[in-house]
Structure 1
Amino acid sequence: MQIDTLSEFLTQAGTEFRLYDLGRRLQPLGRDDFIAIETGQRPYPWPLQRHAWLAVSYRQRHDHRQHYVWFLKIPLDERGLFNHAAVKHFLAALVEQLGQDPAAPLSDEQQQRLAQTPFTFQPGQDKLAAFHARLRLDLGLPPSAFYQAAADYLASPEPGDWQQLGLQGLADLAARLPGDPGLCRQFEQRLFTLPQPVQQALLTQCEHHPLPLSLAERLLEAISAELERQAPDEERISLLLRATAGTPPFDARRRKIASLLALAPGQPLMLSLAARLWQELTDEALLLPYLEQLAGRHPTLFNGLFAELVSTPALRPLILANLHNPALSQALKSAIGNLFAVPRD
């Protein structure tokens, strides 16, 4: 049986499957979009380090009790398209484990063998918790056993209780904010009264979900309050801004980013914009100031972040169109020129 793509394999195996990107942040990937990517009709939309970082969840149609998850790291070529040799390598490993019957369920031992291929990875704990929370929500399953403790703590925080909270429970709570107005209101009211470690964990989880606009705007207000301090905490500003990353672009965030870029931003903000909020940089009024600050204030970051941004399909045409923009500063022109300079012997 000739199987050339992962979608074909999962379909032939009689599974129901879902796909998520786990590169820069958690994002669902539609099946039709994935098929178009697999067949080379479009580049992968969210590359990181020239790879696609995928979570593939599937279950047999006749058995909804057992779920399997693969975390796949698929190399991309210079155009952002799937490296088909890598995909075929992984599929060959699947067939080797399953024999010639793609409908055979994978045993735990076979799962372990597949995990040894060079195309699998283990997500960090924060993303892993966010993924499991989102997957259970999307499958209509109840949250983890850790959720109720997190919800109870949010409803009635006690100073000594937070050390007992599980990260998965906080992830479950954040995942349910978009669909639970009452929980979201409670979250807005209590968030900034919670101990800093709990705030940080919750804000980190929020970046993976499309928060209601009122909550996202509340987080931007907290940035304004932080900026009024005598010594603003750049890490906290970055954390608050990143927490809104899953919310589609909106004017208040665009204005906030523009104002932050005008304030000589530090590394935390520059890294966060590239890693979590790249979609805002599709606005040339933000992209060019970002690149100017990157070249002028953070030259050691320039090459790596520029390479990541220019590999992103949504940004690549805009960046390339501005390479010879006469309005660019000399610092930015020099930084770009150094990227393309041919080394001399």
Structure 2
Amino acid sequence: MQINTLSEFLTQAGTEFRLYDLGRRLQPLNHDDFAAIEANQRPYPWPLQRHAWLAVCYWQQQHKAQPYVWFLKLPLDERGLFNNGAIKHFLAALVEQLGQDVTAELTDEQQQRLAQTPFTFQPTQDKLAAFHARLGLDLTLPPSVFFQGVRDYIQAPEQHDWQQLGLQGLADVTARLQQDNALSQPLADRLLELPQPVQDALLTQCEHQPLPSVVIERLLGAITTELERQQPNQERIAQLLRATAGSPTSGERQQKIATLLALAPSQPLMLSLAARLWQDLTDETLLLNYLEQLAEHHGELFNGLFAELVSLPALRPLILGNLHNTALSARLKNALGSLFSGTS
């Protein structure tokens, strides 16, 4: 039987598998959606730089505690559909190295050859930690050995040395906040009082996980506090907002974004919205406001960020449907005109 898709390959090999997107932020991708994407029935939902950045985790049922993982960077065409030629190329390389047994032990030389294909990538350390934390949770596996140390630290920071904390433990704690009420409240109470390196690591991990409402409220409240300062720290505001990105869109967050866009938005904010919080821009009013502010204050970023946003299937029809909107400002019309005429 000819095998043309990753799903077919993994199924024929007798494995179970899970898929996660690691492009803009960590997101699970369910089997039905992936099958439709592989069949070119729908575009990839979260493209980044015209690629799908996938973590493919698979295991034999009797060895669930020892899953295998591939990190794949798969090219997409101009419509956001999988490049089938690239998929077949990668599958051919897999078969060459693994045969039909995807759980076979690879020699160092085989691993290096597979890693040298143009379809693999190495995630950043923060995304890798977030991924392993979510995977362990989804497969009901125990957290890492660093988890308890971070949990103890959150409960009583003054009794522990933060420099002994492990990144994977911070990721494990963050991934479990939504289901651990005994941990989410103390973290919400103390998060923004912790040493800056711990805060930064936890806030970065929060970007990739759904958070309980008590933590989200604390983060959005901290943005308000920062805005009230004589000289608000724009990097800090973007960091706090970004930390809520792994949680579903809410009216409170969209209102906060609208407020920030009305205050001559900073470059860090504009980059964060495109990279992590694009789902909030599915609100057409926010989207148009974003594009107006981008053209008004950050023209040098306009072409690149517009290209990334219009590649997202959730935003593409909204953007294209407003290209000839007569209510657009002259500056935005000029930015769009320059973009499509190839001038700057």
When normalised by structure 2's length, the TM-score is 0.97
Look up the equivalent residue of 1:204 and give its one-letter code. T
Distance between the aligned counterparts of 2:61 and 2:287, measured in 1? Answer: 46
Deviation at 1:65, TM superposition (A): 4.0
Look up the equivalent residue of 1:270 and give its one-letter code. M
Q: Quick check: 1:208 aligned with 2:208?
A: yes
3-state SS of the aligned residue for 1:47?
coil
Deviation at 1:4, TM superposition (A): 0.1
Distance between the aligned counterparts of 1:207 and 1:104, measured in 2? Answer: 32
Distance between the aligned counterparts of 1:160 and 1:137, measured in 2? Answer: 26
Q: Quick check: 1:166 aligned with 2:179?
A: no
Alignment partner, residue 55 of structure 1: 55
3-state SS of the aligned residue for 1:205?
helix
Look up the equivalent residue of 1:329 and give its one-letter code. S
Contact 2:65 2:141 in 1 (8 A): no
Task: Give unmatched runs, 5+ long, in structure 2.
Answer: none
Look up the equivalent residue of 2:288 and give its one-letter code. L
Distance between the aligned counterparts of 2:275 and 2:145, measured in 1? Answer: 31
Look up the equivalent residue of 1:199 and give its one-letter code. Q
Deviation at 1:290, TM superposition (A): 0.4
After TM superposition, the structure 1 stretch with the greater mean CA deviation from structure 2, 207-216 or 89-98, is 207-216
Contact 2:98 2:106 in 1 (8 A): no
After TM superposition, the structure 1 stretch with the greater mean CA deviation from structure 2, 214-223 or 85-94, is 214-223
Q: Quick check: 1:292 aligned with 2:292?
A: yes
For each residue in 1:160-188, what CA deviation from the matched residue of structure 2 results, as whole angstroms up to 9, or x when unmatched?
71122111111111011011111111111
3-state SS of the aligned residue for 1:80?
coil
Deviation at 1:116, TM superposition (A): 1.5
Deviation at 1:67, TM superposition (A): 1.6
For each residue in 1:203-259, what CA deviation from the matched residue of structure 2 results, as whole angstroms up to 9, or x when unmatched?
110111111123212210000001111111111111110111111111110110000
Distance between the aligned counterparts of 1:106 and 1:312, measured in 2? Answer: 38
After TM superposition, the structure 1 stretch with the greater mean CA deviation from structure 2, 153-162 or 178-187, is 153-162
Alignment partner, residue 307 of structure 2: 307
5 Å-filtered alignment, 1:1-345, equals: 1-99=1-99, 101-102=100-101, 105-109=104-108, 110-158=110-158, 161-341=161-341
3-state SS of the aligned residue for 1:57?
strand
Contact 2:185 2:214 in 1 (8 A): no
Contact 1:126 1:205 in 2 (8 A): yes
Q: 1:57 to 1:329 in 2, by over 3 A?
A: same
Structure 1 segments, 4+ long, off by >6 Å, are none
Look up the equivalent residue of 2:113 and give its one-letter code. R
How many residue pairs match? The answer is 342
Distance between the aligned counterparts of 1:76 and 1:271, measured in 2? Answer: 22
Distance between the aligned counterparts of 2:114 and 2:65, measured in 1? Answer: 22
Distance between the aligned counterparts of 1:216 and 1:164, measured in 2? Answer: 27
Distance between the aligned counterparts of 1:215 and 1:161, measured in 2? Answer: 23
Deviation at 1:196, TM superposition (A): 1.2
Contact 2:155 2:183 in 1 (8 A): no
For each residue in 1:28-87, what CA deviation from the matched residue of structure 2 results, as whole angstroms up to 9, or x when unmatched?
000111011000010000000000000001112343343211000000000000001110
For each residue in 1:113-147, what CA deviation from the matched residue of structure 2 results, as whole angstroms up to 9, or x when unmatched?
31121100000011011001111111111111111
Contact 1:295 1:335 in 2 (8 A): yes
Distance between the aligned counterparts of 2:169 and 2:84, measured in 1? Answer: 38
Distance between the aligned counterparts of 2:214 and 2:195, measured in 1? Answer: 22
3-state SS of the aligned residue for 2:74?
strand
Deviation at 1:189, TM superposition (A): 1.2
- Identity percentage of aligned residues: 72
3-state SS of the aligned residue for 2:179?
coil
When normalised by structure 1's length, the TM-score is 0.96
Distance between the aligned counterparts of 1:108 and 1:32, measured in 2? Answer: 34
Look up the equivalent residue of 2:169 and give its one-letter code. G
Deviation at 1:159, TM superposition (A): 8.1
Distance between the aligned counterparts of 1:167 and 1:298, measured in 2? Answer: 34
Look up the equivalent residue of 2:27 and give its one-letter code. Q
CA-based RMSD = 1.3
